[in-house]
Structure 1
Amino acid sequence: MARVIAADRLSANAEGFETSAADEVDAEWRLYIGQGVAVLKTLREPDIVMANAGDADVWHAMVAAALVDFDGDPSQD
């Protein structure tokens, strides 16, 4: 997720100015980990449409597992 955010900021195909941003994204994506974690935290609980489309418990477990990689215990928020 952090790589996508970095690419969005840097690439001329999005909000950036670099016509070839791959090297810049590789160098800077870690600067966007906090923003990626914030998005994951927002997605922890599926909305009603998402929950009706699949297993909400599985979704929650998957997002929680991703957050553990960055934050430790996701239940502490």
Structure 2
Amino acid sequence: MPISELSAVERIARVLAAERLSVNGEGYEPSAGDEVEAEWPLYIGQAVAILKTLREPDIVMANAGDAGVWQAMVEAALADYEGDPSDE
């Protein structure tokens, strides 16, 4: 299984920024890479909120694997984040 070199918080924040900026989402930019690179930190608070929501797997997720492992992985991703999302 591939393992990302970016944190979960950063990856989610980048997706949120790209969704807003890219023509493939709700945006207007046909090539939004530079804008996403500049703006993804603005989405860190939202990314943390999404991860907090995902701490508890739903029934489908729990049936697919070990719910305790899932929760531990999401908690680790949150613990890896070294900021205060309320500062955003």
* TM-score after normalising by structure 2: 0.78
Following TM superposition, where does structure 1 have runs of at least 4 consecutive aligned residues deviating by more than 4 angstroms?
A: none
Higher relative contact order (CA 8 A, sep 6+): 2
Identity of aligned residues (%): 75
Counterpart selection for 1:25 from 28, 36, 39 = 36
* TM-score after normalising by structure 1: 0.88
2-side partners of 1:13 and 1:48: how far apart? 31
Q: CA RMSD in A?
A: 1.2
Q: Once the two structures are superposed, what CA deviation does each residue of 1:21-76 show, in whole Å capped at 9, x if it has no partner?
A: 0000001101001111111011000011111110001000000000012267xxxx
Shift of 1:20: 0.8
Structure 2: state its 5+ residue gaps. Answer: 1-11, 84-88
1:16 aligns with 2:51: no
* Bigger share in helix: 1
**What one-letter code is carried by the residue in structure 1 that aligns with 2:34?**
D
1:44 matched residue in structure 2? 55
Structure 1: state its 5+ residue gaps. Answer: 73-77
